[in-house]
Each structure stands twice: as C-alpha cells, then as structure tokens.
A and B are shown apart, each in its own frame.
Chain A
Amino acid sequence: MKEYRTVTKIQGPLVFVEKTEPVAYGELVNIVQSDGKVKRGQVLDTSDEIVCVQVFESTAGIGKDAGIRFTGETIKMPVGRDMLGRILSGSGKPKDGGPDIVPEKRLDINGAAINPYARASPSEFIQTGISTIDATNTLVRGQKLPIFSGAGLPHNEIALQIARQAKVPGSSEEFAVVFAAMGITKEEENQFMADFERTGALEHAVVFLNLADDPAVERFITPRLALTTAEYLAFELGFHVLVILTDMTNYCEALRQIGAAREEVPGRRGYPGYMYTDLASLYERAGIIKGKKGSVTQLSILTMPGDDITHPIPDLSGYITEGQIVVNRELHRKGIYPPINVMPSLSRLMNLGIGPGKTREDHKKVSDQMYAGYAEGVDLRGLVAIVGKDALSERDQRFLEFADAFEDKFVRQGHDEDRSIADSLDIGWQLLSALPEEQLTRIDRDLIQKYHPKYRK
C-alpha cells in the first residue's frame, strides 16, 4: 500500500493531504505517526487536488511528517457470534484482554437503509416491569425509544433496570444486549459493568466503551460499530437485540466539533445543519424485517443540556425516535424513583403493542384516563398555591389528590421491583377509583363494570 507524506494542514480532527492518486469518498485511512503509532480516519471530502481526512482519535502527535495510507475500502468491521460476552473499545479493539474477534463477516459500519417495504410492523409488547413505561408509554419490540434525562438524574439506573427486567411475556427467544458508551465517566462505566456482571447479562452482551477521557472523535464511530453488530446479531443470527446507546449528547458534541473544524456554516446553536440526517442514520437502524427472525430495539440515553427539551439534541432526537421517556428533576427531588414524568413522555408504537391478546383490553383507556386525571391534578397545583386547597371544589380536590397518589403509588417503585402489566394496570384502577365514577369519561362503561375495584369482588 502506497504511503503519502503530503500532509498540508492539520486542523482539529481533520488532516488534509495533497497530490494523491484518486482516493474514494468514505475510504478508511491509516495515519502513521513519526513515532510509529497508527491511527484511523475516514475520507470526508476528496478531489484530485486535496483530500480531507477525519481522524477518529486525537490528532496529537500527527505532524506534516505523518505517513498517510489509503486502504481502498470503506470502514468495515469484523463481526461474529463470538462477540457476545466481549468488551471492546470505542473503536472496536478488544479491551478485555481477550483475542481479536474471529470475523464471520466484515460489514460496512454505515450500514444501509432498511427498505421501508421490507420492514415488518413492530407489535410485540416488551414488559419492562416499570409502570410508567409499560402501562402508559409501552415499549414494543423493534422500537427506538430514548430516555431524555438531565445531568445527575438516575437514567443509568433506569436503563439498567430495563435491561435486567425486559421480557416479552411468554417468549423464550434468544436475546442479546449491545451496549455502546460514548464519553461516559469511569464511575458510570463501573456502574454498568458491575450490574452486567452481577446479573450475568455480560454473557449475552457486546460492550463498546468510549470513556470521557477517550478521544471525542472516536464517538463518531462507536454507535455505528454497535449498530452494525446489532444488525448482524438480529438479522443474520436471529437474536432479539436491545441496543443501549449512552450518552447521545456526547456523540452530538463530537459531531459539532468535526463540523467546526471543517468550518461549516453551523445550524441551530452551533450544531451542524445535517445533524438530523446524521442522527437518523443511527436511530433508524432499529426495527424488524419481514422474513427475518430477530429484531433491533433501541434505547438510547441523552442528557438534555440545561434540562431543556427544546435543545437541538433532544429536539432532533425526538423528531426521529418513536417517542421518548422523560426523566424529571422535580420528581427526583421529591425522592421518587424512577422519576419519569409521563406528561411529556410518549411511546408512538404503544397502540401496536397493547390490547386484548397482547396486554389487556382496558390498557389504552386506563392509560388515557390516568393522563387526563394527572394533567388536571397538576394544573390544580398551580391554583392551590394561590387560593389554597379549601377554595377548591370537592371534585377538584379529588383530582389534586389523584395527582399526588399517582406519583406516589404508580410512578414510584423499587429499583428491583418488577411489576407485571396486570399489576401496573390494577394500581391504575386503584387510583382511578378515588375519582368520582362519572368523571371516568374516557373508559367504556363495560370496562368500568369489569375492572373498577368497586365492581370487582
């Protein structure tokens, strides 16, 4: 392989090389430093005059004396069944002291778009054991449902609890977890790894770790490696794969950094104008394909800068994913775990995964009624602060109490409390039964007759 020593410019994560033979767009590049160290990069822009290479590691140590080798192929990764149980770095190198992955196949890490015609509709209910998800924001196999959180909130605990407890009731198919960390701290890493080891989850997991002190630009490929692995496990080997990507905010920061180095015209708040498209190329890598056994379900975590849901990172994510689970600081301060605020949370595929034969016939209506009741109660809290509780009508007082009980009994649960969907719905009924019956306008009368505690013996 020819090596060029024609670097003209180095800027942030970018290296510019001239006088090359024709270099392909997207080609994988090896950069040999003068100290012999080899780093990897990818062609971002190519012409017969100059080639721009994005380096996936720190450019510290790269000088004009670096040797540039174009490999002639786009970035591929070795994949194989023996990846299960392995811990790899953010760029896919073994980190657990084990051997290299024996490749059964080498796949382009950018993947390809699933033909919408080839997709099958997700429809299998995943029980996470968490009421605010199962009953009111149901997760479905093949869905991409992120957790929108904030710095210092227990999103990792929630993700771990989901990973531990998630199951499709009545099914015993092979499942796997692909975990990709981007820029998380050592402490967070320990938290995840300890839990994976404690529960034996590691055996059927593939872990990619890019930590806070690893190069930021490596984060650009970490999720792509993870998703390529997930697609391989799901669509070639037939596993039901749960992908956890954390923290997408760090990924987006890396994207911003690359954009700034390229001196691109920035979009909103300094993030690249193509961030929507870029994020879509990750988030859309979830789903089910007709005629294939496995599935890819995505649970990504992002921390909202300043708890602001309109910030471009959560905003663009929400526009692509199929709903979001929103972790709330106020509930956390009240000591409620998991502090999930159901109001801005949403699962768009919920309707496909619930109802008779899947969960229960009253599921949707109970959920709608709880939302309506909780929303009304939360509104009244504002009024109570001004006029006092006594000024409220009897009806309004009941709604106010409903909102409190909802947070205390329905939202709150233990770290290891694994509620069945029936339990979650029954807690819902218990709470709703404290409201005047004629206020339950969202529930059909025959369902009230069947499930309302008043009529149940």
Chain B
Amino acid sequence: MLEEYVDQMMQCTSCSFCTVTCPVMNVLLTDASSPRGRVQIAYGLYTGELELDESASKRLYECTTCGMCDHSCPSGVHIVDVIKAARKVVYPEFSVEKQRSFVNNIGEKGHTYGEAKEPVWAFTGHEPKENAEIAYFMGCKITAESGHAQGIAAVRILEHLNEDFTTLNEVCCGAPLMYMGAPEEKIRAQMEKNMAEIRKRGVKKVIFSCPSCYYMFSKVYPKYVDISDIEFQHIVEYLDGKLDMDDFDSGTEPITYHDPCHLGRTFGVYEEPRKLIKLIPDADYMEMEHNRENSLCCGAGGSLALYEPSLTKKMAERRVSESDGRIIVSACPNCVGNFSKHTKAMSIEELLWNKMKK
C-alpha cells in the first residue's frame, strides 16, 4: 500500500517547515506528532525499520487531515495522502473500537452515527423527486439529529429561492471510512449506492453542506466510479450571487467565520461565505487571527474526534480562544458540531435563513 507513496516520502527533505504549522503538533509539542514525523513513520513502516505497533498507529491517527501541512510544504509532498495510505496499513490491527463501530454503522445502516431514521430526508419535509436540476446532499452529520437545524435551513433557503431541487435517499459518502483507512471495498460500496441514487434522480449538479462530502465526491469518487456529466458545488458557492442585501433583515449578534479545512485549503473557497455573511446589513462581523488559508482546524476532522477526543477538545478550545466570545459561524456541520461543545456556534445556512426576510 505504501510503495505507491515512496517517491512522496523521499521527496521530503525533512526541512520541518510543515511541523510549525500543524495544529496537532502545536498542542502536543512533539516532533513525533508532526506532519514530518508522520511521513517518517510511514517511511519506517515501508522500509521495515519501524515495526507496526500501537505507537506508530497513535501518531498516524493523531491527525485531522486538515491539510495545513500540504499547504506549507515547499517540496510539494502530498503529506495527507501519505498519512491516509499509512492508515490503511494500521487500520486492521490498530484502529480503536469507536472507529470500528462507525465503520460497522456505515456498513449496516448506511450512516456513521447509525441513528438516521429512514427515509433520511424526512426531517426536512422535502421529498426526493426525479428529473430535478440539482440535488442537495446532506451528509451524515446533518442526517443525525444534532445536525438537523443546518439541513432544514439549507432546504428552506433553496425552497425560498424556488430552486428545482431534490433531496436524496443518500448514504454516507465514505469519507470517514477513507480517513480511518478502512478497506477500500467498503468505501466503494458507499460510492456506488450514492451514485446510483444520484443517477436515478437525473440531476446535473449536486450541492453539499459538508465540505468533506464535497471533497469526497469531487476528488475521490472520480477514481472509483463514473461521475461524468455531474457537477459538484458547496452550498456557499451555489448561493453566491443568488442573494442580495434586500433579502435580509439587518444586524446580527457579534459573529466571526471559521474556514473549514477542506472548503478552504482544498477548494480555495474563502470569499463566498464572507460575501454571503456581509449581505446581512450591519452584520457585527470580525475575522479571527488565523483565517482563510491559515485557518486553524477545529480538531474534529480525520476521525481524530473518535480516536482521541481529548485532543479534539484542546484543538477546539484553542480555536475558540481566537473568537473573542463571538458566535462562530461555519460552513461545515462537523466544525459547527464540535465548536458547539465549547461556545455558541452556528452553520452559515442557519445564520442566513434566520436573517432572511420571509
């Protein structure tokens, strides 16, 4: 599994530029839990100099796949890809119970949390239909009860705009499986189910509230399933240009915006959500110190929240400390869910829908 990445590993000059940017390293303060360290561990596993054990898997799983390291590596090493490949090696023996129960839920019930009721779209009241222009893909976090508010807001906005859209009888996009290093056939099964459903609806475009689902469909699905003729977009990209200031009542509580890792560093979507927020007249808005490509990870990604919740908590607290008591608005259900445990947070869909003139 790792042979494919040996060039990437050798490409690493060990300069350590990535280490200072890694939000995990900056909490744990050990080179062993830095991007460079993880690449070196993968390399040791590949050469056999390092035996596969609990200590190697721990360092490989202590990563949110936030992509900060890829962004800062002057050698162009695809660090996150190396980490994901190494996780495939460690998963069978060294994944933890919580990770495996996620994988089982997905296999048995289609969703990570296993709690989504059938049909998954029911809480939105918007039934799937055929031959719509677009489909709205909610993602597991929203189909679980704690995420419903975001999904409802997204659907209401689309209805309000009279968009010709359908919900889907969707299953988990497969991203958590990929991040954990679960067997490929399980990921492929999810992809096939989702693509069959999307094809059945005859849509040309799928829009997402979850940047990880968006990433999965745009960057990973094409390697395994046929996605031809279908366009993917995050909902903030989709809404950009469709709304104007007249659509909103003025004023907000003090708010700030957190750039989700994938939406920002992978897709470069930084300005669209800000433009949407600033459509609200007199929005009380301030940036956090680390924003856009330097945004700090919320700590929940890459299955870290399952593997080491205490680390997720420390990372979230660090990020929250930058918000200066403002409500953290974000365009990712996972970030919002994670921040909500520590401060007031809300999805951009909820903010917009709350302020829209009805």
Task: Please determine whether chains A and B interact with each other in the same assembly.
Answer: no
